[in-house]
Each structure stands twice: as structure tokens, then as C-alpha cells.
Amino acid sequence: MSAADFPILTTLIVVPALAAILCLFLRAEGARVIALVATLFNLLLGIWLWSSFDVMGSQWQFQESVALFGPIGWKLGIDGISLMLIMLSLFLMPICIGASWRAIKERVGEYMAAFLFMEALMIGVFAAQDLMLFYIFFEAGLIPMYLIIGIWGGANRIYASYKFFLYTLLGSVLMLIAMLWMIQQAGTADIPALLNHDFPAEAQSWLWLAFFASFAVKMPMWPVHTWLPDAHVQAPTAGSVILAGVLLKMGGYGFLRFSLPMFPEASAQFIWLIFGLSMVAVVYTSLVALVQSDMKKLIAYSSVAHMAIVTVGLFAFNQQGIEGAIIVMLSHGLVSGALFLCVGVIYDRLHTREIDRYGGLSINMPKYALLFMLFTMASVGLPGTSGFVGELLSLAGVYQVSTWVTLICATGIILGAGYMLYLYRRVAFGEQKNADAAAMKDLNGRELWLLVPIAAVVLWMGVYPESFLRPIRGDVARIVERIERAAPAGDSAIRENDPAMEKFRVKTNEGGDSHEAKQGSGH
């Protein structure tokens, strides 16, 4: 049976929402089981969804439309890009529940409910086909995340939760005004229809900036990234996983779904802004990551650097760049999620994130050291892991637009190798200078169950990325086709009278003339 005959997207949203309400009334043990069962069931539904997705089929599939809330239509539907991001959320969710199995001891029911609500909202964001419905899902995620950081977070959780909430809210409200204007102007809130609506060029700039305010904060881009390290450090492990794994992807998804295809001219007009901020982000946050003494903060800064690669890839205006950006998003979701889990594993044992308190873990925790190394390498972008595919494609795409941007962004990979290997050396290698760290036990069965599936997918994406590229190829091609009219000219093409190129040019002046003459006579 195909999932297309069944309101599967609604089911994917309703199942976790109902489970969340149930969890609120259950004791700790029951809430854990319900949450795990609901997320695993959703994952199964997701696999069914992916297997029923027709790559060659129409752009929007599994469409549903019910006029439930008056002007806000309950319209859902996905393309390949949404499908991949929904799969990422569905895949990470049971892992988050598993990661919180023992670490969360207080108010378990409410915790699980918050996570399940998050899952429902995230799927809603990627599946919404009505602009207002999208906004509601997009913003509603703030409430559970605020509670997750604030209730179960670390010592400085209150500051972090406020910062997270207000930063992202301020970014989003301007987008709301822009959306209202767009709906008025286009006369519809239907996203597929808006994708084909041409907004006047002068309005596009303002609309683009309003959307940029929201997505840049969500992404996050330098210099509005400062909420991210705070939120990550203070959030519980599973909170960090979901934050890095899926919430950050909403920014990239927004650029891809709205900014680029709806405002192509403005996107081209502001390309300098995106490239400039991204270049600063890559170099600056990588250097900041290099000097961190807190593991989670280090990974958080590395997230900002990786997201900058995503933005340059998206705004490369070509197939490779956008495909690469999507793969980086997926890969980063898995890898940084896994890295946060790795931090969580040793945090649960020693209750500190200070890098100096560890050392020589490869001796007493060999399985851990192996998996941690795999994820470190994937984060660096070693060939064979998912990170490589995405970064290579993304940078190859940008190279067609700007050599300099590519050059500077490529340093991010070198710096990334620097800070990640430096982290790994200090944690896993060297002498066992701390007795308590040396006494830690290796991964138990539950932790292996969390990390091994991610490792498998990371390798799968690195070795055979075609599985993940195939569903998005057609959709990316449609976006490229739509934005081509505004695509910036690349600086890598050979110019006719460039003196620097003189010595490479073969002197075939007469030949050229005769070639032209021949062509002329041929006609």
C-alpha cells in the first residue's frame, strides 16, 4: 500500500502531539516508554513515507488540504527537500528520547511531552504548504524549546533560554509582517502558488530582508549567532541534539523555500551580504572554536561555521551549490547531533564539559573513542563520510561564482580539522591525567544503540550519497531554473582581454578568423 492514499503527514504530526498530551499525565517510566514508542512508530511511518515517495513524480506529493481554521488552511505536502529534512527529524527523535532515558530524572513526563511537541512542530514546518501555517509551526517551536532549556538546562540556563527566545522571536516577527504583505499582494497564502508568483523587484528587497532577519537568526549567521553557544551549552544533551540537528535546519530550509525562489532578484542583490557574513563566520567562529575549553561550546561554534558553508552553497545559484548545501545540512544534523551525544556520554559520567578534565579516554573507553573519532572525521569532512560530500559540492558550486569566497570558506575545512583534531587529541589521546576520567566505563548497550545508527547513516551518506541526492535533485533543478534569471555572473570564466591570461593563450588569431569565416560561409 502506498502512503499516498493515507493522510500520512497529518498522522506524522498528530501521533507525537497525542503522545505528548498523554505523557503529561503519566509517571516517569510510562512517559519514557510512550515517548519512545511514539517516536519509533513515527520513524516507521517515515520510512514508509520515503519508500512511497516517487522521485520521478510530481513536485508536491502527499498533499492534504482541509479548511479547518478559516483563513489558515491546513495544507500539507512535501517535495524531496522536505522529505529529507523530515526524515532527519524522525531519525533523530528516538535517539533524543534514548539519550534522555537516564539523564533526565525530574519531571520526566513534561520533558517527554516537550520533545514530542517539538517533533510534531518540526514536521509541521517542513510539511506546511500554507504560509501562515508555516509561520505558526515555525514560531511555536520556541515554547517547548524555551521550557527544555530553562527547566532541564545547566547552571546558566535562564539567561540562555531568554536569549534563545527573544532573539529568535525578534527575527521572526518582521517576517510575519512581510508574509502578511505577500499574502495581500499575491492574493494567496498557498506556498506552491507563491513560489511561482513574481513580486516586484523593489518590494523583493524589503521582503528578502525581513525573511533574512528571521532565517539568519535561526541559521544562525554571524553576528546574530551568539544565542547558539549559550543555548547549546545550557541545554540538556538531547536538547542540543535537536537544536543542532533540526532547529538550525529551519533557517536553511527557509532560505531555500522562500528567500531564493520567491525573491530571486533580491537574493542576487544581497549576495554580497550573505557571502560576506558567511566568510567572516567561517574564519571567525572556527578560530573561536579553537580556543574553547568547553566541549559543547566548541561544537556549537563549529556549527556556526558549518552553517556558513550552507549559506554560501545555497546562494551559489547553481545545482551543485544547493545540493551540497542540503547535504551539509543533513550531514551536520547527524554529525553534530552525534558529537553532542558523545559529549553527553562522558558528561553523564563525570558531570563536566571541561576538556581538561578528560584525557586518554581511548585507553579505558575504546568503543567510545572509535565512534567519537568517526564523528570527528565526519565533522572535518574526511572523504568517505557525509561531511565530505556536502562540503565539496557546496564549495564546488560557489567556485563558479566567486573564487575568493571559495578560498576563504575552504579554510574553514582546514581550521575545522584543527579544532576538531585538537579536541579529539585532548579528550581521547595522551596520558590519563585524571583518575576519575580514567575510571570511566566504556559505552553501554543503550549508548551504542544511540550512536551506531548515526554512524551507519553518516557512512552511508559518505559512501553512497546518491540515495540522498536522488530525491532532492529534481526539486533543486526546479529552484535553479526559477532563479537562473538572476544568477550572478561567475568570476572564474576566462575573460577576453585579461592581460594576466596573456601568456596562457595560444596565438591563433588567424585561425580564429578563419574559423569564424568558415562558420559564416557555412550558413
Partner 1 sequence: MNLGISLYFTRPELILSVSGLVLLIIAAWRSDSGRLLSLAAIAALFAAGAWTVNLLTHPSLELGGDAFEGLYRMDAFGSFSKLLIYVAAAISLMIAPRFLKNMGAMRAEYPVLILFAVVGMGIMVSANDLMTLYIGLELNSLSAYVLASFARNDGRSVEAGLKYFVLGALASGILLFGMSLLYGFTGSTNFDAIGKALSGDIGMGALFGVVFVLSGLAFKISAAPFHMWTPDVYEGAPTPVTAFFASAPKVAAMALLVRVTITAFGDQTFVWQQIIMVIAIMSILIGAVGAIGQSNLKRLLAYSSINNVGFILIGLAAGTKEGIAAMLVYLSIYVAMTLGGFICLMQLRNRDGRLREDMSDIAGLSKTRPGLAAAMAIFMFSLAGIPPLFGFWGKLVVFNAAVAAGLLPLAVIGIAASVIGAFYYLKVVKVMYFDDAEDIIVSENSRTLIWTGAVLAALVSPLGYLLITPLGQITDKAASALF
Residues 6+ apart with CB under 8 A from 80: 53, 55, 470, 471, 472, 473, 474, 475
* Least distance between partner 1 and beta carbon 114 (Å): 11
* Least distance between partner 1 and beta carbon 75 (Å): 14
Among 22, 127, 130, 157, binds partner 1 (CB under 8 A): 157
Among 89, 161, 204, 362, binds partner 1 (CB under 8 A): 161
Q: Contact, 239 vs 92, CB < 8 A?
A: no
- Segment interacting with partner 1, rule: CB under 8 A, options 128-136, 308-316, 370-378, 483-491: 128-136
Q: Which residue has the cell 565539496?
A: 392
Binding residues for partner 1, rule CB under 8 A, total 35
Q: Which is nearer to partner 1, 40 or 140 (CB)?
A: 140
Q: Which residue has the cell 550512536?
A: 451
Among 4, 37, 47, 143, binds partner 1 (CB under 8 A): 143
- Segment interacting with partner 1, rule: CB under 8 A, options 135-143, 300-308, 338-346, 449-457: 135-143
Among 21, 177, 193, 414, binds partner 1 (CB under 8 A): 177
Q: Which is nearer to partner 1, 180 or 459 (CB)?
A: 180
- Segment interacting with partner 1, rule: CB under 8 A, options 27-35, 172-180, 272-280, 436-444: 172-180
> What would the grid cell of residue 78 be?
512535501
Residues 6+ apart with CB under 8 A from 436: 350
Taking each helix axis from N to C terminus, what angle separates 157-186 and 201-218, rounded to the nearest 10 degrees?
160
Q: Which is nearer to partner 1, 6 or 206 (CB)?
A: 206
Q: Which is nearer to partner 1, 70 or 520 (CB)?
A: 70
Q: Which is nearer to partner 1, 151 or 186 (CB)?
A: 151
Q: Which residue has the cell 567556485?
A: 399
Site for partner 1 in 45-84 (CB under 8 A): 68-72
Q: For residues 68 and 179, what is the distance between their CA atoms, to the nearest angstrom?
A: 20
Q: For residues 128 and 209, what is the distance between their CA atoms, to the nearest angstrom?
A: 22
- DSSP-H helix ranges across 400-508: 403-428, 435-438, 445-463, 466-483
Does residue number 186 form part of the binding site for partner 1 (CB under 8 A)? no
Does residue number 147 form part of the binding site for partner 1 (CB under 8 A)? yes
Q: Which residue has the cell 565526519?
A: 378
Q: Which is nearer to partner 1, 46 or 73 (CB)?
A: 73
Does residue number 146 form part of the binding site for partner 1 (CB under 8 A)? yes
Q: Which is nearer to partner 1, 177 or 517 (CB)?
A: 177
Does residue number 129 form part of the binding site for partner 1 (CB under 8 A)? no
Q: For residues 479 and 429, what is the distance between their CA atoms, to the nearest angstrom?
A: 46
CA distances (Å), origin 256, targets 135, 142, 238, 472, 519: 15, 21, 27, 12, 43
Amino acid at 493: A
* Least distance between partner 1 and beta carbon 79 (Å): 24
Among 18, 33, 36, 136, binds partner 1 (CB under 8 A): 136
Site for partner 1 in 238-277 (CB under 8 A): none
Q: Which is nearer to partner 1, 138 or 368 (CB)?
A: 138
The three-state (H, E, C) secondary structure of 192-238, written as one string: HHHHCCCCCHHHHHHHHHHHHHHHHHHCCCCCCCCHHHHHHHHCCHH
Q: Which is nearer to partner 1, 5 or 106 (CB)?
A: 106
Does residue number 203 form part of the binding site for partner 1 (CB under 8 A)? no
Taking each helix axis from N to C terminus, what angle separates 157-186 and 227-234, rounded to the nearest 10 degrees?
130
Q: For residues 153 and 404, what is the distance between their CA atoms, to the nearest angstrom?
A: 41
Among 66, 166, 201, 439, binds partner 1 (CB under 8 A): 166
> What would the grid cell of residue 343 be?
559529549
Q: Which residues pair with 78 in a beta bridge?
A: 61
Residues 6+ apart with CB under 8 A from 218: 168, 171, 247, 248, 250, 251, 254
Q: For residues 328 and 330, what is the distance between their CA atoms, to the nearest angstrom?
A: 5
Does residue number 28 form part of the binding site for partner 1 (CB under 8 A)? no
**Dihedral sign for Cα atoms in the order 502, 506, 512, 514:** positive
Question: 3-class SS at 507?
Answer: coil
Per-residue contact flags (x/-) with partner 1 for residues 88 to 127, judged by CB under 8 A: -------------------x--x-----------------
- Segment interacting with partner 1, rule: CB under 8 A, options 37-45, 134-142, 253-261, 481-489: 134-142
Does residue number 4 form part of the binding site for partner 1 (CB under 8 A)? no
Task: Give the angle subtended at the CA of 291 by the CAs of 290 and 295, to the nearest 5°.
Answer: 80
Q: Contact, 397 vs 321, CB < 8 A?
A: yes
Does residue number 227 form part of the binding site for partner 1 (CB under 8 A)? no
Does residue number 151 form part of the binding site for partner 1 (CB under 8 A)? yes
* Least distance between partner 1 and beta carbon 25 (Å): 10
Per-residue contact flags (x/-) with partner 1 for residues 390 to 419, judged by CB under 8 A: ------------------------------
The residues binding partner 1 (CB under 8 A) are 68-72, 107, 110, 132, 135-137, 139-140, 142-143, 146-147, 150-151, 157-158, 161-162, 165-166, 169-170, 173-174, 176-177, 180-181, 183-184
